Amino acid sequence: MIITREHRTRPYPLGVHVDGDGLVAAVYSETADAVDVCVFDESGRETAHRLQERSGHVFHGRIEGHGVGTRYGLRVQGAWDPANGLRHNPHKLLLDPYATAIEGELKGDEATFSHRFNAPDELNPTDSAPFMPRCVVTDRSFDWGDDKHPFVPLDETIVYETHVKGFTQLHPDVPEEIRGTYAGLAHPASIAYLVELGVTAVELIPVQQFAQDSHLVDQGLRNYWGYNTYGFFAPNADYSASGDGGQQVVEFKQMVKALHAAGLEVILDVVYNHTAEGNHLGPTISFKGIDNAAYYRLVEEDRSSYFDTTGTGNSLNVGHPAALGLIMDSLRYWVTEMHVDGFRFDLATTLTRQDGSADMHSAFLDLIHQDPVLAPTKMIAEPWDTQGYQVGGFPADWSEWNGKFRDDLRDFWGGADSRIGGVAQRILGSPDVYEASRRSPLCSVNFVTAHDGFTLADLTSYSLKHNAANGEDNEDGESDNRSTNSGAEGPTDDEAVLTRRDRMRRNFLATLLLSAGVPMILGGDEIARSQGGNNNAYCQDNEISWYDWSTADHELRRFTADLVALRKAEPALRPDWYRAAAAEGKSDEEEGSNATVWLLRSDGQTFSDSDWDDPRARSIMFVFAHRDGDTFALLLNAAANGVEFTVAPPLHAEWELVVSSDPGQRVSAPVSTLIVRDCSFTLLRSKRS
């Protein structure tokens, strides 16, 4: 076929796009012999269109007479040679890696596997199309009006990690027909709640199109968390109230626009470290059949196997331009087309392993750093994978989930032997982690709980996990998740235990919201959301995971909202740089910082070197001051008995009580000593004005 100049197409952008009265398509593959775009009509009949042009490793061409709403997939001709990393199989309908909408659900039939179950090296000739979802060509236009990124500064950011479905599935003020959807999260009742709580950003656990694991479906369970992506440009259609034929894209944009109008940022939890295709025994959904070795890291000495640092069977090949290009194009798409404000990267360390070892000067990090679209957005790393723990190892313009904050605060409040020095470091923004590389506390995303593990209510109620509903004999999830419950197992009518739990929940929320860094609240912790002791509810798309608004602890919610408001109003409680040097007697002017801190023992004296390492030390006092605000004294007592604090002299007016986890706490001026009861905190203020 001769293609005239006026009908030639370009090899970029990749994917399938509307062009006049037809479509243009471009697919990357170094190893394919030919690529067909297969269009499906309303009856499901398939018509293949061979891409006739090739530029470098990109097959491209034009398909006349089709436009928005076209359902399609790919078939790729090429060698089947698993021993050499080649897994082409034209009998498999493949999803376009750049599809912006996906209709239908992947079905777990043997037909979707390129190999036979009983012979992994033998090609499976069964057509997979009846069991595969379809890509949908979408309309890129949308009326964004005056929408703009809120660009909330990091020192003012308070992240709320939540689930699109779980947040509204049982919400009584959200219309039933849109509960559990993007539209539900955009509903005025949802937004009003978030605004009243005071958070500045919602971090949505995965909303890119993900697969349902067949072994879960067979047990009547579902992948609820969504860490099993196969569509990096497509919003998950299950969360759409309006349909999955492209409507999910519009509904997602409407959600972002509504959240932005309320001043709320949208951060996506993204899973670029692996895909839903698994290892050599996994299904062929897209990448394996297009160019297996370009998209996945293969074991050099056995190219039929996958190099895996994610625990899922495969790792994306971030040392290859095709895989890196996919990630970068996807990120830019979500910023430019969908208007999101930032990303939290699941197992981010894997993305730096272009040669096997973690590399903080990797191509992935360098590309993001220099990209003008991505540079202004919030970048948050989960700084570990199955092969390494890299907290403190990411570049200065990244923030990180600080697992040390979680662990040290749980140990402190839970009564485990721990160094008081570790707690002090966490509350000061982890200078022991970040200061040596001249990174600020804002690199630390502080959290006590997250989607993975106990909720705060369960952390303070259960000593043991209760994961039987997951179908793995309670052997999944963390065996020792640093539970801080030392009372009865599970809910109880014992008033003393309830009171202690109530204090412990407030202790955690307070230390989270009064620490330097960027606080992240697990959605529902502020209302004491319980999962019945399940600390690995990844497969519980039901009442175990959904927010039960009918049992919400509104007193705890008000407590949280008050602390959030206090943090936002007082610069001394959200410093953007370290203040630890002030503890050595240097002034804030000498250190070039607006903020100053003093760390004191309960007797009002400074800590000696031996004090910091004393595992029996269970109390500490912080005094926070700022040139432009009030001074605060934070008194923490994790001991099993009350402790008398000798309170530091006030810098301004006499100390007054702001908040305490002990409802019986009283303060009468002038204050020189104050008893803080067991497992409690108290916050005092000395007003500048």
User: For residue 436, what is the DSSP state?
Assistant: G
Of the CA atoms within 13 Å of residue 589, those in its CB half-sphere come to: 0
Q: What is the pLDDT of residues 539-589, one digit of tens each?
A: 999 999 999 999 999 999 999 999 999 999 999 999 887 554 444 444 444
Q: Which residues pair with 381 in a beta bridge?
A: 345, 400
The phi, psi pair for 563, rounded to 5°, reads -65, -40
Task: Look up the CATH number of domain 154-572.
Answer: 3.20.20.80
The phi, psi pair for 588, rounded to 5°, reads -65, -35
Task: Look up the CATH number of domain 580-686.
Answer: 2.60.40.1180
Higher model confidence: residue 635 or residue 493? Answer: 635
Q: Do 5-136 and 580-686 have matching folds?
A: yes
Of the pLDDT bands very low, low, confident and very high (cuts 50, 70, 90), residue 3 is low
Say how many C-beta atoms besides its own lie within 10 A of residue 602's C-beta: 22
- pLDDT, residue 486, reads 53
Distance CA 233, CA 209 (A): 8
Which token pair is 356? 């096997």
Q: For residue 13, which of 449, 325, 460 has the smallest C-alpha distance?
A: 325
Distance CA 563, CA 442 (A): 19
Question: How distant, in Å, are the alpha carbons of 28, 76, 630 from that of 323?
Answer: 10, 18, 51
- pLDDT, residue 590, reads 40
Say how many C-beta atoms besides its own lie within 10 A of residue 669's C-beta: 10
- pLDDT, residue 479, reads 74
Distance CA 677, CA 660 (A): 10
404: region left, alpha or beta (phi > 0 left; psi from -120 to 50 alpha)? alpha
- pLDDT, residue 613, reads 87
Q: What is the pLDDT of residues 458-490, one digit of tens each?
A: 999 999 999 999 999 999 998 755 667 755 566
Sorted by where each begins, the domain ranges of the chain are: 5-136, 154-572, 580-686
Task: Look up the CATH number of domain 5-136.
Answer: 2.60.40.10
Of the pLDDT bands very low, low, confident and very high (cuts 50, 70, 90), residue 306 is very high
The catalytic site residues sit at: 346, 382
- pLDDT, residue 245, reads 96
- Does 591 score more than 80 pLDDT? no
Q: What is the pLDDT of residues 68-87, one digit of tens each?
A: 999 999 999 999 999 999 99
**First-to-final CA distance of the chain:** 82
Q: What is the pLDDT of residues 400-457, one digit of tens each?
A: 999 999 999 999 999 888 789 999 999 999 999 999 998 999 999 999 999 999 999 9
Q: What is the pLDDT of residues 100-144, one digit of tens each?
A: 999 999 998 999 999 999 999 999 999 999 999 999 999 999 999
Percent of the chain with pLDDT over 90: 87
- pLDDT, residue 672, reads 93
- Does 284 score more than 60 pLDDT? yes
Distance CA 639, CA 610 (A): 19
- pLDDT, residue 499, reads 85
- Does 19 score more than 70 pLDDT? yes
Q: What is the pLDDT of residues 639-651, one digit of tens each?
A: 999 999 999 999 8
Q: Which residues pair with 28 in a beta bridge?
A: 58
Of the pLDDT bands very low, low, confident and very high (cuts 50, 70, 90), residue 494 is low
Mean pLDDT, the chain, as a whole number?
A: 93
Higher model confidence: residue 669 or residue 136? Answer: 136
- pLDDT, residue 480, reads 55
User: For residue 256, what is the DSSP state?
Assistant: H
Average pLDDT over every residue of 590-605: 81
Higher model confidence: residue 8 or residue 38? Answer: 38
- pLDDT, residue 575, reads 87
- pLDDT, residue 62, reads 97
Among the ranges given (39-53, 161-175, 348-362, 394-408), the one the predictor scored with the smallest mean pLDDT? 348-362
Q: What is the pLDDT of residues 352-374, one digit of tens each?
A: 998 878 888 899 999 999 999 99
- pLDDT, residue 635, reads 98
Among the ranges given (128-142, 463-477, 492-506, 517-531), the one the predictor scored with the smallest mean pLDDT? 492-506
Please state the pTM of the whole predicted model.
0.95
